[in-house]
Amino acid sequence: MNLKEIRKKIDLLDSKILKLLNDRMEQGLMAKKFKPRTEDTEREKEILNRIRTNSRGLIHAEFIENIYIEIIKESKILQRRDYKLIGFQGEHGAFSEVASKEWDGELIPVSCSKFADVFEGVESGPYDYGIVPVENTLGGVVGEVNELLINTMLHVVGAIELPIHLCFLALPGTDHREIRTVYSHPQALAQCLRFLARNKLEPVEYNDTAGAARMLAEKQLKTSAAIASKLSAELYGLETIKEDIEDLERNMTRFLVLSKKENREWGNKCSIIFSTEHKAGTLFSVLEVFARENINLTRIESIPNEPGNYAFFLDFIGSNKNDKVLKALEKVKKITSNFKLIGCYKERKVV
């Protein structure tokens, strides 16, 4: 071991400390949603007492206590700013986080391990919004998200279509000729098959793209790389060896923004979920209603709901404040079961 190697370990520890501090501040913002005021002297005493008790080794109790006094002070400053939070699935740097920033850059993105956690977090209160991917031009529908949408009481208040540009990331200073394996989400790996084959790289599946980037940085895997977003490279101190490595030029993912409150503004797209009886021509009757009203459908998907039962997702251009749309929806309600308008909202595409 030499000085250079020791400093590398120090840099890695510093990045972990910064990540943990950021995570702690996020938790503080979430806690604010459940308490009437920012000041809580009893809780602060509890934290500082625990720090004093658990101080070990080289760290003197007084030193670490002073650090935590500053951490608590900064947390309260952030809580007073009354930020709005948006939950997303994956590690920081995930494309869902990128989409959330495109939708509203003033929101604070909070990482969730599962899609169900995003829905639950919006329903129970700590998140003002949630953002989830519903379909990709190459990978198709995101089945788990669509299944969660069937039973949720949340409303869709926005949508964004984001171009997915995948980057080949490695540790700084890595010789790309020495890289043998590449970690990423299975869907991202599938979108880069030509690149992987051309460079004779072995794909290794990981939970999510940003998680693969974080793991690579933390474990310092010198002969490995990750496929993730450019934001992931910035967050985890990785080098972007090559950008836009996806096989097809048009690689788009559509995201929905969820809220407990219904969108009250004029939207340009609506989404409904419904079921139909097991009779020939029932679905055709629904589609015919929209055709007669000259309403343009943009998406229709069927998702298994219960054994032998399917729910249909249908998106169309228009607003529920429009008389023609309202007339069509009333007709559709009469010929379907479990009908639900999950949102009328503005959708935009990022170029």
Q: Which CATH class is domain 85-163+252-349?
A: alpha beta
Lowest mean pLDDT among 4-18, 118-132, 238-252: 4-18
* Confidence grade of residue 55 (pLDDT, cut at 50, 70, 90): confident
Tell me, rounded to whole angstroms, the distance of Cα 39 from its chain centroid: 31
- 316, pLDDT greater than 90: yes
- The structure tokens 């989400």 sit at 185
Token duo for residue 89: 């699935």
Nearest to 230 by CA among 239, 221, 222: 239
Question: What is the predicted pLDDT for the residue at 308?
Answer: 64
Is there a shared CATH topology between the 85-163+252-349 domain and the 167-242 domain?
Answer: yes
**Domain boundaries 3-80, corresponding CATH code:** 1.20.59.10
Question: What is the predicted pLDDT for the residue at 120?
Answer: 97
Question: What is the predicted pLDDT for the residue at 290?
Answer: 94
What is the identity of the amino acid at 260? K
Question: Cα(191)–Cα(229) distance, rounded to whole angstroms?
Answer: 13
Mean pLDDT of 266-285: 87
Beta strands in the chain (DSSP E): 85-89, 108-112, 129-136, 140-141, 155-163, 167-170, 181-184, 202-205, 224-228, 239-242, 252-259, 269-275, 297-304, 310-317, 337-349
Q: What is the pLDDT of the chain when averaged over all its residues?
A: 92
Token duo for residue 28: 């503080």
CATH fourth-level superfamily of 167-242: Periplasmic binding protein-like II (3.40.190.10)
- 54, pLDDT greater than 80: yes
* Confidence grade of residue 37 (pLDDT, cut at 50, 70, 90): confident
Is residue 303 within 8 Å of 311, Cβ to Cβ?
A: yes
Q: Where do the structural domains in the chain lie, given as residue ranges?
A: 3-80, 85-163+252-349, 167-242
> Looking at the annotation, which residues are catalytic?
253, 255
pTM metric for this prediction? 0.90
